């Protein structure tokens, strides 16, 4: 039996007889005699044969033409062709033809968490590596805690972090490090003199110790809310309503001083606090309005009395001066006559006597 076999460029032929590799054919035209079979392989592709690779590699000529890569359990291999990432090789044995491409193989240990190998973020983001990589993002103004198997490993600054995906559990807890404001609204409190009022309070705080805030305390913000609520209740209960209204602007500062290091134990720093609104209840509001009206009336009466006293004192002084000075008396008399004359519409005089005498007689009566 004779057959012709043509091997093209970048191809290799393997000649088998009775299942054994007996010859390797390179580019050219060949005649096969007898009971022989030929398998032709594209040297640009991965070498795959129906015959067991271990048996084929016993042929030294074929072994010298192939580059064999073995990937064990807990490993992957990144394959590069001419410096460009091409494929991820998982557990198994692979053979590639030599001399066609400049191939490089990077072995990765998946049993560890940290990515210690020199791999660019572009490759880590490649879809072919999606199932092998865990990605965590810490946004700007945030910090994070890296927990490996439930234990704190380290504190992460803002950035993107990659870890190998394996059976080891990884968790990242992030927290906002910016200044924050908490509203403590609608607090119904009783003053020292039993006045019921409603207070809207605020506190500005910032996370200072991320480890204390997240690892040593649960829901640190709720704990701070309770602390501020109790401190406000204690402070207001020690003051009368009038004292509270007078000290309203300094309440926040005094409460923060009384808070002491309780905020630090939560990993927080409270920098500012204060009363936003003091709202009186319905009955108390009516009482305060009545007090305010009474105070304003008393002030108005006091002003009126003061003005009347000043006016009387002025009249008394004028009278004394007029008593001592006759010319001043006459001038004051003429001033009043002028005012009276302004109010008179008509003056009737008779023609049988002197007009000037009659006018004098009218104003001197």
pLDDT band at 261 (very low <50, low <70, confident <90, very high): confident
Token pair in block for residue 8: 């093209």
Q: What is the mean pLDDT of residues 306-314?
A: 77
Q: How many angstroms separate the CA atoms of 197 and 69, rounded?
A: 79
Taking the CA atoms of residue 130, residue 131, residue 134 and residue 137 in that order, the dihedral angle to the nearest 10 degrees is: 30
Shared domain for 214 and 275, answered yes or no, is yes
Q: What is the mean pLDDT of residues 345-360?
A: 56
**Local structure of residue 3 (DSSP, 8 states):** E
Q: What is the DSSP string of 135-162?
A: EEEE-TTEEEEEEETTEEEEEE-SEEEE
Q: How many CB atoms lie within 10 A of CB 226?
A: 10
Residue 230 lies in a domain: yes
* % residues pLDDT > 70 (the chain): 83
Shared domain for 188 and 101, answered yes or no, is no
Shared domain for 123 and 222, answered yes or no, is no
Q: Residue 340 pLDDT > 80, yes or no?
A: no
Contact 168, 148 (CB under 8 A): yes
Residue 354 lies in a domain: no
Q: What is the mean pLDDT of residues 114-142?
A: 93
Residue 327 lies in a domain: no
Residue 223 lies in a domain: yes
Q: How many CB atoms lie within 10 A of CB 121?
A: 10
pLDDT digits (tens, 9 = 90+) for 193-238: 888 888 899 999 999 999 999 999 999 999 999 999 988 888 888 8
Q: Write down the pLDDT at residue 360.
A: 56
Shared domain for 170 and 149, answered yes or no, is yes
Range of the domain at 255: 183-280
Q: What is the mean pLDDT of residues 240-269?
A: 85
Model pTM score: 0.67
Question: In Å, how far from its chain's centre is CA 35?
Answer: 78
Whole-angstrom CA distances from 108 to 11, 69, 75, 101, 349 are: 31, 13, 6, 22, 133
The CATH code of the domain that includes 240 is 3.30.479.30
For the chain, the residue count is 365
pLDDT digits (tens, 9 = 90+) for 283-292: 665 656 565 5
**Local structure of residue 348 (DSSP, 8 states):** -
Q: What is the mean pLDDT of residues 100-112?
A: 92
Q: Write down the pLDDT at residue 295.
A: 66
Average pLDDT of the chain is 84
Q: Residue 328 pLDDT > 80, yes or no?
A: no
pLDDT band at 332 (very low <50, low <70, confident <90, very high): low
pLDDT band at 240 (very low <50, low <70, confident <90, very high): confident
Shared domain for 19 and 55, answered yes or no, is yes
Shared domain for 102 and 1, answered yes or no, is yes
Q: What is the mean pLDDT of residues 260-277?
A: 89
pLDDT digits (tens, 9 = 90+) for 49-97: 888 888 888 889 889 999 999 999 999 999 999 999 999 999 999 999 9
Residue 248 lies in a domain: yes
Q: Residue 146 pLDDT > 70, yes or no?
A: yes
Lowest mean pLDDT among 158-162, 194-198, 313-317: 313-317
pLDDT band at 347 (very low <50, low <70, confident <90, very high): low
Of 162, 178, 194, the position where a domain reaches its end is: 178
Strands 92-97 and 66-71: antiparallel
Shared domain for 205 and 257, answered yes or no, is yes
Q: Write down the pLDDT at residue 202.
A: 92
Number of folded domains in the chain? Answer: 3
Of 65, 85, 106, the position where a domain reaches its end is: 106
Most confident of 17-31, 52-66, 84-98, 260-274: 84-98
Taking Cα atoms as reference points, which of 38, 55, 36, 126 lies closest to residue 95? 55
Residue 357 lies in a domain: no
pLDDT band at 175 (very low <50, low <70, confident <90, very high): very high
Shared domain for 99 and 159, answered yes or no, is no
Lowest mean pLDDT among 7-11, 71-75, 147-151, 299-303: 299-303
CB-based burial of residue 263 (10 Å sphere; 0-12 exposed, 13-18 middle, 19+ buried)? buried
Shared domain for 229 and 144, answered yes or no, is no
Of 280, 297, 319, the position where a domain reaches its end is: 280
Residue 317 lies in a domain: no
Most confident of 18-32, 165-179, 335-349: 165-179
Shared domain for 118 and 165, answered yes or no, is yes
Residue 288 lies in a domain: no
Shared domain for 114 and 87, answered yes or no, is no
Shared domain for 215 and 131, answered yes or no, is no
Q: Write down the pLDDT at residue 305.
A: 77
């Amino acid at each position: 039996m004779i057959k012709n076999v043509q091997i093209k460029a970048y191809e290799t032929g393997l000649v088998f007889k009775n299942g054994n590799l007996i010859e390797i054919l390179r580019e050219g035209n060949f005649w096969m005699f007898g009971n022989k079979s030929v398998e032709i392989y594209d040297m640009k592709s991965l070498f795959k044969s129906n015959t067991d690779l271990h048996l084929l590699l016993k042929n030294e000529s074929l072994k010298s033409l192939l580059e064999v890569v073995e990937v064990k359990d807990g490993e992957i291999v990144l394959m590069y062709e001419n410096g460009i990432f091409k494929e991820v090789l998982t557990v198994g044995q692979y053979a590639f033809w030599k001399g066609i491409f400049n191939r490089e193989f990077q072995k990765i240990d998946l049993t560890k968490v940290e990515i210690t190998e020199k791999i660019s973020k572009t490759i880590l983001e490649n879809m072919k590596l999606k199932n092998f990589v865990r990605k965590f993002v810490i946004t700007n103004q945030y910090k994070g805690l890296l927990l490996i198997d439930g234990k704190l490993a380290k504190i992460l600054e803002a950035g993107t972090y990659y870890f190998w995906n394996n059976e080891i559990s990884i968790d990242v807890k992030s927290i906002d490090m910016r200044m924050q404001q908490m509203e403590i609204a609608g607090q119904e409190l009783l003053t020292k003199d039993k006045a019921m009022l409603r207070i809207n309070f605020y506190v500005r705080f910032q996370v200072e110790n991320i480890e204390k805030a997240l690892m040593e305390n649960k829901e640190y913000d709720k704990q701070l809310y309770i602390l501020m609520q109790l401190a406000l209740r204690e402070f207001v209960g020690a003051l009368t309503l009038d004292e509270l209204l007078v000290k309203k602007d300094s309440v926040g500062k005094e409460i923060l001083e009384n808070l002491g290091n309780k905020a630090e134990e939560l990993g927080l720093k409270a920098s500012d606090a204060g009363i936003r609104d003091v709202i009186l209840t319905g009955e108390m509001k009516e009482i305060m309005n009545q007090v305010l009206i009474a105070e304003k009336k008393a002030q108005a009466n006091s002003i009126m009395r003061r003005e009347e006293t000043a006016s009387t004192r002025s009249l008394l002084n004028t009278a004394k001066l007029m008593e001592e000075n006759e010319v001043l008396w006459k001038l004051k008399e003429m001033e009043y006559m002028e005012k009276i004359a302004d109010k008179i519409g008509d003056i009737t005089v008779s023609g049988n006597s002197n007009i000037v005498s009659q006018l004098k007689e009218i104003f001197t009566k």
